[in-house]
Amino acid sequence: MKIVVAPDKYKGSMTALQVAQALETGLLRVLPQAEITKVPMADGGEGTVQSLVDATGGHIKEVEVTGPLGEKRRAHFGILGDGRTAVIEMAAASGLALVPNAQRNPLITTTRGTGDLIRAALDVGCRRLIIGIGGSATNDGGAGMAQALGVSLLDRAGQELRPGGEALLDLAAIDISGLDPRISETEIVVACDVNNPLIGPNGAAAVYGLQKGATPEMVVRLDQALANFAQVVERDLGVATQDLPGAGAAGGLGAGLVAFLGATLRPGVEIVLDVTDFRSQLEGADLVITGEGAMDRQTAFGKTPAGVARAAKEKGLPVIAVVGTIGSGIEAVYEVGIDAVFSIISGPMTLEQAIERGPELVAATAENIARLLVAGSAIGYLAK
């Protein structure tokens, strides 16, 4: 029997690789002859760098970058096993978690650090970049990122724009003659799992501004700023971003990556499936086991287990999910190809206890699943 184990991380508890290893441990207690193929997964959000580094035998590199408030800080990116592909999480340099609650202000926060990470990846020879853009503290349309890579964003006096989303109100001209020439020889793919346009009631500022520290009045100014940004980008670069699905992701960074760097926006889990060559790993498999820390109806809308399940169903394979907790609306995941869901929680316990005992609980759940497979086979429900 071949079992493909392809979980996401359990946030705050285990990496995707650690979950996969615990699943393997439990399965082999009952099925010692089984072939277990471990494929750590992610969906482009937090944990994607670690998952893809683990899946491909790559490594992590740490560099100094500019933080969201202009401070210097350390951030990391991953270099995959091929040595030429870098994986970047914008949140590592420009993320909301890096800004104390009292200092959150998308009028002034910048994506410059994300540009620093891109430049660092180019410096080590990477010519394919995968960029996850969830969890941003910013609303600057990727302006800081572009400036870090040599783009000049000028106001009406011909001066370089100051950092932050509000500054885009003053944007009058864009000069890309100084853009790092290595960008033209680099493939850039962006993991983007939202379809928000750049501006308007469903745009970057209106939907995500408040959680980044904006007041309702700030949201109006930020939306106006991005509208001006879109007009200047279309005039000077010939790229229409205003209504582009996903342009509003990460405070408009989706738009900036497309406009300045020629990036392509794709669903994060599809990128990860491709990088890990997941579909070929399914050849000869009998079962797929996936999972994540908490599963509910939202899982069905593009999260890792849903992507894994859809790929598995292309080959007619059964899919089981092993998760930390089961939330409301779990029935939605059955519609995307997950056949059964098991929680690792074996009795009353605190979240802290569940996190501490994570590997043990995952392994025990996998062992019970293996025993169920054996029992089902014995009574003729399974072909193998």
Query: pLDDT digits over 17-37, tens only?
Result: 999 999 999 999 999 999 999
Place of tokens 């040599």: 150
Given this model, what pLDDT does residue 380 score?
A: 67
Given this model, what pLDDT does residue 384 score?
A: 45
In CATH, the architecture of 48-268 is Alpha-Beta Complex (3.90)
Sign of CA dihedral 188, 133, 249, 235: negative
* Closest listed residue to residue 47, CA positions, set 82, 89, 85, 5: 89
In the 8-state DSSP scheme, what is residue 189? E
Q: pLDDT of 32-85, one tens digit each?
A: 999 999 999 998 888 899 999 999 999 999 999 999 999 999 999 999 999 999
Residue ranges of the alpha helices (H) in the chain? 16-30, 48-56, 91-94, 112-123, 143-148, 204-208, 216-237, 249-261, 268-275, 278-281, 304-313, 351-356, 358-378
User: Which residues have CB under 8 Å from 124's CB, separation 6+?
Assistant: 61, 79, 86
* Closest listed residue to residue 251, CA positions, set 283, 206, 294, 292: 206
User: Which residues have CB under 8 Å from 55's CB, separation 6+?
Assistant: 17, 39, 40, 41, 275, 276
Cβ atoms of 359 and 379 closer than 8 Å: no
Q: How many residues does the chain have?
A: 384
pTM of structure: 0.88
- Rounded to whole angstroms, the Cα distance separating 229 from 204 reads 13
Cβ atoms of 258 and 239 closer than 8 Å: yes
Cβ atoms of 97 and 91 closer than 8 Å: yes
First to last CA, the chain: 7
Q: If 0-12 CB within 10 Å is exposed, 13-18 middle and 19+ buried, where does residue 331 land?
A: exposed
Please give the full DSSP string across 44-78, using - where no structure is assigned: SSTTHHHHHHHHHT-EEEEEEEE-TTS-EEEEEEE
Q: If 0-12 CB within 10 Å is exposed, 13-18 middle and 19+ buried, where does residue 266 land?
A: middle
- Rounded to whole angstroms, the Cα distance separating 146 from 209 reads 21
Q: What is the dihedral of CA 159, 160, 163, 169, to 10 degrees?
A: 60
Cβ atoms of 222 and 270 closer than 8 Å: no
Place of tokens 């100051």: 162
Crossing angle between the packed helical segments 16-30 and 48-56, to the nearest 10 degrees = 50
Given this model, what pLDDT does residue 381 score?
A: 56
Neighbours of 286 (CB within 10 A): 16
Domain with CATH 3.40.50.10350 in the chain: 2-41+279-378
φ/ψ of residue 77, rounded to 5: -140, 170
pLDDT along the chain (384 residues), means of 10: 96 93 98 96 89 94 98 98 97 96 97 98 98 94 98 97 97 98 98 90 94 96 98 97 93 97 94 94 97 92 92 97 95 96 94 93 97 85 49
The correct answer on CATH 1.10.510.10 for the domain covering 2-41+279-378 is no
Domain with CATH 3.90.1510.10 in the chain: 48-268
Given this model, what pLDDT does residue 373 score?
A: 93
